[in-house]
Amino acid sequence: MTRILIVDDQRLFAESLRTVLEGTQDDFRVCALAGDGAQAVAAVAEHQPDIVLMDVSMPAMDGVEAARIIHNRYPELPILMLTTFEDDGYVREAIAYGARGYLLKNIPSRELVASIRAVLSGAMLLDPRVVGALVGKGRDGPASGARAASPEWFDSLSRRERQILGLIVDGLQNDEIAQRLCVAPQTVRNYVSRLYDKTATGDRLRLIRLARASGLF
């Protein structure tokens, strides 16, 4: 019996995923559901799953940080990231922290089952759309493949602040960002205020110009 831990702050998605996995596979059993990264770390210790299906963007502690902690404590435990985000920065971080795969949430259920079995067998999996994004970014970069050192203001940002800055550069407003990240609009406004302070910009337009000029977005 394969014991699976599902980590996702969207309870309906997590429960639906459990229904699909247990309803279609006789040897799959979801041993626990967790709603954020901190709960995931605790659930791994308590339930000893055979594989973790981990969302990326969650409140409190995100999936990338949780993957880092879990991998440090249980280096043999496979972690498969499931997300709606195609951000290559998340891909690189997740894999660097020990994730064995990075798949988008709209993957067909049969492909997800096959992916879980492949990861349990030792394979490393990336959704083709994610690979395409990585290759595309690589072609747009410097010919040498080297990346210039990031500016000091960027290094001072947390992972969540960088994520929100990227969404701002993409043109999303605060309410849209809140909906995308499943957080309260006031939480986003607080992060935006911190971005203004850390970048010494003071308004959205200057913040976007600074971010684009850095070449990191």
Model confidence pLDDT, tens digit, residues 88-106: 567 777 887 788 888 888 8
Among residues 73, 19, 16, the alpha carbon closest in space to that of 44 is found at 73
pTM of the predicted model as reported, rounded to 2 decimal places = 0.63
Model confidence pLDDT, tens digit, residues 124-158: 887 766 655 554 554 444 433 434 456 888 888 88
State the sign of the Cα–Cα–Cα–Cα dihedral 24, 76, 83, 141. Answer: negative
Provide the β-strand partners of residue 53: 6, 80
Contact (Cβ atoms closer than 8 angstroms) between residue 66 and residue 44:
no
Mean pLDDT of 36-51: 96
- Tell whether the model's pLDDT for residue 14 goes beyond 90: yes
- What is the token pair recorded at 193? 């205020």
Domains present along the chain, CATH in parentheses: 2-135 (3.40.50.2300), 152-213 (1.10.10.10)
pLDDT at 172: 87
Model confidence pLDDT, tens digit, residues 63-92: 888 998 999 999 999 999 988 765 556 777
